[in-house]
């Protein structure tokens, strides 16, 4: 039995695949933020399996540790003279005209940034030997200050790692959790390398404790963890290099979205994953985009991650009145506890409460009827806010949805329009528990032709974890001329290829299932950023052509630099197939749950509600309509038409205005 588990801010999602029958089952439980493992173990306790289970888990533990500043107490060891590297950074100003904006505080306070006498040149030559005698005092400082983890980032250690290795060995022997930059990110750019290494040291002890406890509760099961690059890793590596799991859950959603989009015949999609706490958006065109220049909480993290843009807008986002008397929504969320007012514990109005108040959610149909909502409590929450704004409760709820939609539409423009892509050339693939209620409005606002809502929309991130391969990334900075012979580049790749094979073998991947992809980062001399290209004998010509495509010009007379060599090691797994269904000739009325008044911007409309579980392939209907599935609700807007495809995805063609 294979099980994908995605821990979200509000719900923990489960997708269960039985290879013997080929059946996929899904269910959700409320998350337990104080102890995320509690909801996981409760869900697994509902399952009966004859033998060991293969569990793939997407975790928010590393993400939350950074965002909430609840990681380990860390010390940083730098080359003498570089103590303030984290503070100086790039001297960027994220808010150019805000004189009062402060950069995020470094994760390591200055008193725990320690210097060691040593110096390595850019070509790897040792200029000043490591003063190993000074390490005793640094270890004593860390013991005295109850330091839990130590990050090591020395100048040019990617070219000569021996000094870092010696320091790491001493601190590990003294009982510290150690993160060394030559292992975490053996690349140039000192600040980004230090920031990434510190982030790893900050979250690894937290992640290791969590995974150790979880694995101990699952004796006999095979546990793997989703990484930010869209691949799986074992719990030991995930604990040691937790910085690679920062976007663990959202990455699963993107893997699942790509599989669904390709199967349905839509290779170009904008993904829209709206959960209870936040919304994640991404662009897929032929394949998901990979970024090596990301940030979390304003801190650079330069390990490969699927390019996902996140905004604080979800079903639990709280509507509130700002100091100027205007209506705002988010980024604060009611989360799972206390949750939206309609859940029966909270008192603040949220996006979910707004959808309930406007009739888009029927309280007795929510969550398959297992969790009836308190409509009176949701109405009271909005009435209190509406009174402050001198609005009716319904107008206040409509305004809250429009503001939430504006936040999410802006996020979709960031990954499309601002990157040179026209949203009208893409399909909007909506998933997450709340995505279906907002997708048609967003597609209409962006001029997109259609919305694709997968059959397993509410649990797509967990499904994506079952569809993921084992993926390991290795890199090294080389700084070679662009005309370096291909044979020399292949020789430089040899250590990376060997490391990739060893990593996959450690994950029990057979040689036949291994795929090793080599690439290089190139730039014109003097440029600050690089383009990543497959490593082939045509590398230089490919770079000029790629530069033309990306920036609108090329210069074949300019000097080219090969900056980094990279290897992505992929261990292919046995993926569950998405089942296909024959056309259903049942009358549409057999799926009708009833007609209820739904409030649109144009006024109330008596709207049919259909049971999504009873809709069959090739059935069609016109909007306005609401499709109710056990774990999500989908709005088909006025003027839109919907059709169920052969995978039981809902394909909505966008028509007129709502």
Cβ within 8 Å of residue 74, ≥6 positions away: 107, 108, 112, 147, 148, 149, 150, 151, 198, 201, 202
Q: If we measure between CA atoms, which residue out of 397, 315, 333, 465 comes closest to residue 604?
A: 397
Cβ within 8 Å of residue 181, ≥6 positions away: 151, 152, 153, 154, 157, 158, 164, 193, 194, 196, 197
Residue range 412-425, pLDDT digits in tens: 999 999 988 999 99
Residue range 310-326, pLDDT digits in tens: 888 888 899 999 999 99
Are 322 and 399 within 8 A, CB to CB? Answer: no
How much is the pLDDT for 623? Answer: 82
Spell out, as residue ranges, where the chain has pLDDT lower than 50.
657-658
The whole-angstrom separation of Cα 470 and Cα 60 is 19
Q: Provide φ and ψ at 252, rounded to 5°.
A: -60, -40
What is the separation of C-alpha 62 from the centre of its chain, rounded to a whole number of angstroms? 12
Whether this model's pTM surpasses 0.85: yes
How much is the pLDDT for 656? Answer: 56
Element (H, E) at 330: strand 327-333
How much is the pLDDT for 638? Answer: 93
Q: If we measure between CA atoms, which residue out of 315, 250, 257, 313 comes closest to residue 287?
A: 257
How much is the pLDDT for 657? Answer: 45
């Amino acid at each position: 039995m294979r099980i994908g588990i995605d821990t979200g801010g509000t719900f923990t999602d489960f997708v269960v695949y039985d290879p013997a029958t080929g059946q996929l089952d899904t269910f959700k439980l409320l998350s337990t933020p104080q102890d995320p493992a509690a909801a996981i173990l409760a869900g697994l306790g509902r399952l009966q399996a004859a033998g060991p289970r293969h569990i793939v888990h997407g975790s928010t533990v590393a993400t939350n540790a950074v965002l909430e500043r609840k990681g380990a107490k860390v010390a940083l060891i730098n080359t003498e003279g570089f103590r303030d590297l984290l503070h100086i950074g790039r001297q960027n100003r994220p808010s150019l005209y805000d004189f009062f904006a402060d950069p995020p505080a470094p994760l390591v306070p200055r008193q725990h940034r320690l210097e060691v006498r040593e110096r390595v040149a850019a070509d790897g030559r040792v200029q000043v030997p490591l003063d190993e005698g000074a390490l005793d005092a640094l270890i004593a400082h860390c013991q005295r200050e109850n330091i839990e983890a130590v990050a090591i980032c020395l100048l040019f250690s990617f070219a000569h790692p021996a000094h870092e290795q010696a320091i790491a060995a001493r601190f590990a022997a003294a009982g510290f959790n150690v993160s060394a930059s030559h292992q975490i990110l053996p690349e140039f750019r000192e600040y980004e390398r230090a920031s990434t290494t510190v982030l790893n040291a900050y979250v690894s002890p937290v992640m290791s404790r969590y995974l150790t406890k979880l694995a101990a509760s699952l004796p006999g099961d095979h546990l793997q963890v989703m990484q930010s690059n869209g691949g799986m890793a074992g719990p030991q590596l995930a604990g040691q290099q937790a910085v690679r799991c920062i976007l663990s859950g959202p990455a699963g959603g993107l893997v699942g979205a790509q599989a669904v989009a390709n199967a349905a015949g839509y290779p170009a999609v904008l993904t829209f994953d709206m959960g209870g706490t936040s919304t994640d958006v991404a662009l897929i065109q032929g394949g998901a985009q990979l970024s090596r220049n990301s940030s979390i909480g304003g801190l650079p993290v330069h390990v490969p991650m699927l390019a996902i843009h996140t905004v604080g807008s979800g079903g639990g986002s709280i509507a509130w009145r700002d100091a100027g008397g205007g209506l705002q929504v988010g980024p604060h969320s009611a989360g799972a506890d206390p949750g939206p007012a309609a859940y029966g514990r909270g008192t603040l109005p949220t996006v979910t409460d707004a959808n309930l108040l406007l009739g888009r959610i029927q309280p007795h149909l929510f969550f398959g009827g297992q969790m009836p909502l308190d409509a009176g409590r949701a109405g009271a929450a909005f009435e209190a806010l509406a009174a402050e704004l001198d609005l009716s409760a319904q107008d206040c709820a409509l305004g809250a949805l429009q503001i939430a939609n504006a936040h999410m539409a802006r996020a979709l423009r960031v990954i499309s329009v601002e990157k040179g892509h026209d949203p009208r050339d893409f399909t909007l693939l909506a998933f997450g528990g709340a995505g279906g209620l907002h997708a048609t409005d967003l597609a209409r606002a962006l001029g997109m032709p259609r919305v694709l809502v997968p059959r397993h929309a509410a649990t797509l991130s967990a499904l994506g974890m079952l569809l993921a391969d084992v993926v390991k990334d290795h890199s090294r900075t080389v700084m070679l001329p662009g005309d370096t012979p291909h044979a020399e580049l292949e020789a430089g790749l040899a250590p990376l290829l060997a490391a990739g094979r060893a990593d996959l073998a450690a994950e029990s991947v057979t040689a036949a299932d291994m795929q090793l992809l080599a690439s290089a980062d190139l730039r014109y001399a003097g440029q600050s950023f690089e383009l990543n290209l497959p490593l082939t004998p045509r590398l230089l010509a490919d770079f000029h052509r790629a530069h033309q495509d990306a920036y609108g010009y090329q210069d074949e007379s300019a000097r080219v630099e090969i900056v980094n060599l990279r290897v992505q090691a992929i261990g292919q797994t046995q993926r569950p197939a998405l089942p296909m269904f024959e056309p259903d000739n049942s009358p549409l009325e057999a799926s009708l749950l009833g007609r209820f008044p739904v409030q649109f911007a144009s006024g109330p409309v008596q709207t049919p509600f259909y049971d999504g579980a009873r809709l069959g392939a090739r059935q069609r209907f016109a909007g306005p309509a609401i499709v109710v599935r056990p774990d999500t609700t989908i709005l088909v807007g006025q003027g839109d038409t919907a059709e169920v495809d052969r995978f039981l995805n809902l394909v909505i063609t966008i028509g007129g205005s709502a």
